[in-house]
Amino acid sequence: MARIAGVTLPDNKPMRIALTAVFGIGRPTAERLLASAKIEPGKRAKLVTDTELDRLRPFVDKVKVEGDLRLIVTQHIRRLKEISSYRGVRHTKSLPVRGQRTKTNARTRKGRKKTVGSGRKATGQKT
């Protein structure tokens, strides 16, 4: 059970994939870190020795990960909201920030669909 940066890595995954469990480390960064620590990227996390993990930790410490990175991202979003930029307003309203359409889709960001109106079609009769 390998732990790096306060995160337990999944045991049965290769190290290049298992390292992505740490917030701030993606595939390219994981590959680069493993290469610099001289650890085989395809090696399963449960087979990595303690000495290899000790070689890897200093390289991971140089990268901003987990709590530090989350704090930085939160500060950036807070700044956008404070200056009332377009992106900040979109964050405040819980809408997509990067130009996606919202008439359909965007359910992950907007939440469950709320029906507006009577919920039935107009019949077309004159009143």
E strands in 6-116: 7-8
What would the two tokens of residue 35 be?
């290469």
Which 8-state DSSP code applies to residue 43? S
- Could you read off the pLDDT of 12-65 as tens digits, one per residue? 999 999 999 999 999 999 999 999 999 999 999 999 999 999 999 999 999 999
**What helix, strand, coil percent values describe the chain, rounded to 5?**
45, 5, 50
**pLDDT given for residue 78 in this prediction:** 97
- What sign results for the dihedral spanned by CA atoms 116, 122, 126, 127? negative
* 65-108 pLDDT tens trace: 988 999 999 999 999 999 999 999 999 999 999 999 998 899 99
Q: Which CATH number fits domain 3-63: 1.10.8.50, 1.10.1740.10, 3.50.50.60, 3.40.50.720?
A: 1.10.8.50
Distances (CA, A) of 111 to 9, 91, 105, 116: 31, 14, 10, 15
Where is 4: in which H helix or E strand? strand 3-4
Confidence of residue 116 (pLDDT cuts 50, 70, 90): confident
| pTM, full prediction | 0.74
User: What local confidence, expressed as pLDDT, does residue 127 receive?
Assistant: 60
